Each structure stands twice: as C-alpha cells, then as structure tokens.
Amino acid sequence: MRYPRQMTLELTAKCNFSCPYCYCVWHEYPLLAKGELDMAGWKKVLDKCASDRVCSILFTGGEVLLRPDLFTILNHARQSLPMSRLSLFTNASLMDEPSIKRFKSLRLHLATSLQGLTTYGSMTGTALDGERLRGIVARAAELGWPMTVSMTITSANAFEAPDMFAAAASSGAKTIQLNPVMAGGRAVSHPELMITRQQWERVKDRIRSLPNKRVPYSFGNEFICKCRTDAEMSMLDKWGDGATGPCPAGKSFGTVGPNGVFRSCIHSLPTSFAAGANIHTNESPNGGEHVSVRAMRK
C-alpha cells in the first residue's frame, strides 16, 4: 500500500506518565503495542515515507523521548525527507535546553500538553505540578523555537481551563489546541472524566471571553472517533456526531503503530480488528509478523 501524505509514527508505547484519559488504543488492545520496531525497522518506515512522498510526519508515542535512539531516527528522517514537515509530540518531562536546540537544528516542530494546573498530577498520573513543563515551553520560546500546547478538557480540570489557557499563553506557546476528552483508550475505563457537549460549549465560551488573547488557538470537537467502528453502540449514541462528513482517515492521513502495523488513524484499529476478525497477522517493514487477537481487549 501507499502511505497517505500525512503520517503519524508512534515510535513507542512506553510512557512515564499514566494519564487516565490517554487515547492510545493499545490500552484497550495490548497486542497493538507488542513487538516494537527497532531502529532499522523505523528507518525502513521512513524510507517508505520518502518513496511515497509523505509531506508531513508527526513523531509520537507513548513518550518518544524514552527511546535512546530517537535522534538517530530523527536524523534519518530529516536526511530522507529534507523538504517534509517533521513534528514531535512529547510530555516534555525529559526535555531540556540541549534537546530543544537539537530539535531546532533538525527543523522539527514541537508540541506538548498542559493537562491542568492544580489537577496536573492527577491528570498525568504523576507527582508533578506542571511547573517544569511551563518552564520548558518558556525556554523553547526564548530560543526562538516555540511549542504548540494542547489541553485535554475533562470533568476534573474543566473548572480551570481558562487558567490553563492563560498559563500556556504567558509561557510563550506558539499555538494552543483545546479538545474534550475522547471516549477511547484509558478513557473507556474512566467515563467519569467525560464531559457533555453542553459543558464543552461552556468551556469554549469561557476561553473566547478571555481578554488579551495574543496566541492563536483552536478547538477540537470530537468526543469519539468515527473510525472506532468497534465502539459500543451506547457510546456511539451518546458521543457520536451524525452531522459529520466523510472521514479522511487512511486517505489523507494515516498511522504506523509501535509494532510497524499501519492503521488509518491514531484512534483506529487495524482493518481486521474493525472487521471483527479474531486473529490477524500483519507483516511489518522489518520483515517480522505481528499477531493481533481481538479477544485480548481489556
């Protein structure tokens, strides 16, 4: 198959955070995180991206900075795709000034997430307070390579959404993206974190009413990905949006998971999972085979 023009590469499923709303599908289907590609495997994926003329790649995880060979992979990406837009999403807990400078030298756009102020620890499953993250965002801006900051709004942090926005803006965020928690990944096990569409509209109104907004911002409005054809009907009835148009997943964008298997988007399952097959074997770019068993869903 030919890769779409925009790709997300999930370099690892490992993460040093335990966000209770994390959308990664391997929290529901653990076998999707088994058998992570090695450096040679990711180089083959990147070579295919180059031959298929992929114009935009987002590197993510898990937490990408946990890979000791990360910069080897990124250097290969820039050499193979000199004109493509390369981006990286990180929780920034392992980022420092030297790494920011290296990312800048590779022209690799940076994004992170601020998931609360007083709620930062509970929203990341850590003992952190987010102060270091805001310092990293500020330092990146000072170095002339500002970061995009995303926020996932849950029932636990919705009350401080305006303060989160103000903190990201004052730290020097390049842009700010706000999204409601989506029904997928760990959030399936934490329905108490979901907000209603009415609550989400109130959050949006509060952000719009903030004075002196000097940073571009945007809202996401999906509560459940339309690619999740395996979702329970009750979830689709409650969170689905029948007014949305055709989904471009797998056409204008796609994902390669930690094990090298292509998926149509970051929220979706491999085709055979969505079709309800019990066992599916995919050949990965490094020549290995990965067996996915639907019954292994948590």
How many domains does one find in the chain?
1
- Residue 57 buriedness (CB in 10 A; 0-12 / 13-18 / 19+): buried
All residues at 6 or more sequence positions from 184 whose CB lies less than 8 Å from its CB, including other chains: 23, 25, 28, 224, 225, 228, 231, 267
CATH number of the CATH domain containing 141: 3.20.20.70
**Of residues 86, 11, 69, the one with CA closest to residue 45:** 11
pLDDT digits (tens, 9 = 90+) for 44-102: 999 999 999 999 999 999 999 999 999 999 999 999 999 999 999 999 999 999 999 99
Confidence of residue 296 (pLDDT cuts 50, 70, 90): very low
**Of residues 206, 88, 239, the one with CA closest to residue 150:** 88
pLDDT(19) > 90: yes
- Tokens read off for 131: 């102060």
pLDDT digits (tens, 9 = 90+) for 232-275: 767 767 777 766 666 788 889 999 999 999 998 888 887 765 44
Domain that holds residue 257: 6-296
Domain presence at residue 107: yes
Compute CA 264 distance to the chain's CA centroid, rounded to the nearest angstrom.
14
Look up residue 194 and give its amino acid.
M
pLDDT digits (tens, 9 = 90+) for 170-224: 999 999 999 999 988 999 899 999 999 999 999 999 999 999 888 999 999 988 8
Domain presence at residue 121: yes
What is the pLDDT at residue 242? 63
Task: Give percent of the chain above pLDDT 70.
Answer: 89
What does the alpha-carbon distance between residue 180 and residue 197 come to, in Å, rounded to a whole number? 9
Confidence of residue 286 (pLDDT cuts 50, 70, 90): very low
Contact at 8 Å (CB) between 57 and 77?
A: yes
pLDDT(148) > 80: yes
Confidence of residue 6 (pLDDT cuts 50, 70, 90): very high
Domain presence at residue 1: no
Domain presence at residue 47: yes
What does the alpha-carbon distance between residue 87 and residue 120 come to, in Å, rounded to a whole number? 24
3-state secondary structure of 92: coil
